Amino acid sequence: MADRSGRLIDILLVEDSPSDAMMTREALECSRVVNKLHIADDGVEAMDFLRRKGKYGDAPRPGLVLLDLNLPRKSGLEVLKEIKDDEVLKTIPVLVLTTSKAEEDVVKSYGLHANCYISKPIAFSELAEAVRAVGEFWLSIATLPPDTNKNVVKQG
């Protein structure tokens, strides 16, 4: 789906579970979300992608991040904090998509400026519906910030 300005934005999914990543990809496809999906399987890799470091030197700037909280090497909350503390990255909407329903995780995520918190449904049909709703809102209804950092020098 293109955003309201007509851009087809890239999506970064930060998910360490291959089965959850596959289900999310399938849910996006079932919802006819054709945006390019990139997957980082831990918090360090996610930040390298976002900062275009190492093997991600030519990575596109995602217009949306779907972030799991339970990640190896760097937790989702640490990733969220780094994104929102970074002048270059902080305007990227970050949607927490996690199995945690803990009130503490919800409060911490919003305290770190998550744009949305979604508890991942277990059933695929419910996940597909949640992903469809996310796609409909974030990729069709919401106006996302422009990529004002196109000419910013890569970090690191």
Question: How buried is residue 132: exposed, middle or buried, by Cβ count under 10 Å (0-12/13-18/19+)?
Answer: middle
Predicted local confidence at residue 156, as pLDDT = 42
- Asked if residue 24 has pLDDT above 60, the reply is yes
- Asked if residue 75 has pLDDT above 70, the reply is yes
Alpha-carbon distance 130 to 127, whole Å?
A: 5
| Better-predicted residue by pLDDT, 20 or 148 | 20
DSSP, collapsed to helix, strand or coil, labels residue 152 as: coil
- Asked if residue 8 has pLDDT above 90, the reply is no
Domain boundaries, the chain: 11-139
Segment holding 67, helix H or strand E = strand 64-67
- 118 and 130 Cβ atoms separated by less than 8 Å: yes
Q: What mean pLDDT, rounded, does the chain reach?
A: 86
| Better-predicted residue by pLDDT, 149 or 44 | 44
- Asked if residue 154 has pLDDT above 60, the reply is no
Highest-pLDDT range among 69-73, 122-126, 129-133: 69-73
- Asked if residue 15 has pLDDT above 50, the reply is yes
Rounded alpha-carbon distances, angstroms, from residue 148 to 92, 109, 112, 152 = 11, 25, 22, 8
- Asked if residue 13 has pLDDT above 60, the reply is yes
Rounded alpha-carbon distances, angstroms, from residue 155 to 50, 54, 58, 93 = 9, 10, 12, 20
- The whole-angstrom distance between residue 36's C-alpha and the CA centroid of its chain comes to 12
Q: How many CB atoms lie within 10 A of CB 103?
A: 8
Share of the chain above pLDDT 90, in %: 58
Domain 11-139 coded CATH 3.40.50.2300:
yes
The pTM of this model reads: 0.87
